[in-house]
């Protein structure tokens, strides 16, 4: 009788251990905390677990946000989208973009504030700073938007297949809010497949991975910039590649 009791207890123990291991692995897969380095002890809000989408509070200081807006405003041009013919202006994206990473950091001059943001982003996502594309500032005026799209590059197009081969795929996205957008006027970062709208305060960054842990592209990361119905929205695009870029 005791032998059967021991056998039953052993089976129960195996089941319990298996459940614990399963839950641990499932949580690790859906939110692998070792995939980023929060050395600055920033407040992090988990907006979604699968795929991982975080809201990093105060990723930029208010002063850094103001500086980038001032520096970026004179550099603004109509935003473009990816196409078979390269980047082009399209009705799906009506915002304005400033290539501040190219304009403010050159061989002869480096904007120290922007350089620190590169370093901070690289430290947080634990990737070499050289993997970060030239950072972009974007501006949305009333009525402007960016329809749902993917940040990873479509390698079915030859031009981007070659680019990914050389520079790697866009693995990680930071979208930083550079100003406060009031409630009720839109301006959220919208993930339609997740039915989730996220809007940060000034300095907050929405952060996610465009690639799954197994290397597959994550089609759940489809997202867009909802129209803003009043005022102006400023943001920062920080894209991190899987390879050192040669931009």
pLDDT for residue 39 is more than 90: no
What's the pLDDT band for 68 if we cut at 50, 70, 90?
Answer: very high
pLDDT for 90:
87
pLDDT for residue 131 is more than 80: yes
pLDDT for residue 115 is more than 60: yes
Mean pLDDT over 103-132 rounds to 95
What's the pLDDT band for 111 if we cut at 50, 70, 90?
Answer: very high
pLDDT for residue 26 is more than 90: no
pLDDT for 35:
73
What's the pLDDT band for 105 if we cut at 50, 70, 90?
Answer: very high
Helix (H) or strand (E) holding 234: strand 232-241
In angstroms, rounded to a whole number, what is the distance separating the alpha carbons of residues 99 and 175?
15
What's the pLDDT band for 25 if we cut at 50, 70, 90?
Answer: very low
pLDDT for residue 17 is more than 90: no
Instruction: Name which of 193, 212, 191 is nearest 35 in CA terms.
Output: 212
pLDDT for 4:
66
What's the pLDDT band for 32 if we cut at 50, 70, 90?
Answer: very low
Report which of residues 5 and 89 the model is more confident about: 89
- In whole angstroms, what separates CA 138 from the centre of its chain? 14
Buried b / exposed e along 115-130 (16+ C-beta atoms within 10 A): eebbebbbebbebeee
CA distance to 102, 158, 193, per residue, from 197 (Å): 30, 33, 11
pLDDT for 24:
41
- Return mean pLDDT, the chain: 89
pLDDT for 19:
58
**Mean pLDDT highest for which of 29-33, 88-92, 174-178?**
174-178
pLDDT for 27:
34
Tens-place pLDDT, residues 166-211: 999 999 999 999 999 999 999 999 999 999 999 999 999 999 999 9
pLDDT for 44:
96
Residue 104: CA atoms inside 13 Å, Cβ hemisphere, count?
26
């Amino acid at each position: 009788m005791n032998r059967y009791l021991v056998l039953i207890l052993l089976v129960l123990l195996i089941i319990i251990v298996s459940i614990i291991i399963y839950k641990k692995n499932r949580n690790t897969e859906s939110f692998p905390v070792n995939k980023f380095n929060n050395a600055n002890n920033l407040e992090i809000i988990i907006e979604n677990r699968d795929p991982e989408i975080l809201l990093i509070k105060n990723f930029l200081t208010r002063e850094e946000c103001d500086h980038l807006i001032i520096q970026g405003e004179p550099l603004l041009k109509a935003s473009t989208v990816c196409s078979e013919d390269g980047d082009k202006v399209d009705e799906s994206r009506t915002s304005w973009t400033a290539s501040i990473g190219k304009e403010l950091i050159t061989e002869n001059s480096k904007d120290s504030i922007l350089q620190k943001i590169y370093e901070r982003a690289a430290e947080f996502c634990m990737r070499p700073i050289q993997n970060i594309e030239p950072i972009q500032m974007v501006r949305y005026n009333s009525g402007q938007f960016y329809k749902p799209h993917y940040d990873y590059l479509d390698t079915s197009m030859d031009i981007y297949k070659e680019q990914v081969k050389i520079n790697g795929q866009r693995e990680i996205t930071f979208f930083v809010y550079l100003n406060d957008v009031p409630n009720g006027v839109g301006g959220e970062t919208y993930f339609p497949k997740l039915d989730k709208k996220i809007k940060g305060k000034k300095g907050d960054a929405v952060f996610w991975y465009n690639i799954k842990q197994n290397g597959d592209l994550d089609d759940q990361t489809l997202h867009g910039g909802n129209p803003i119905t009043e005022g102006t929205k400023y943001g920062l695009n920080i894209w991190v590649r899987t390879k050192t870029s040669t931009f």
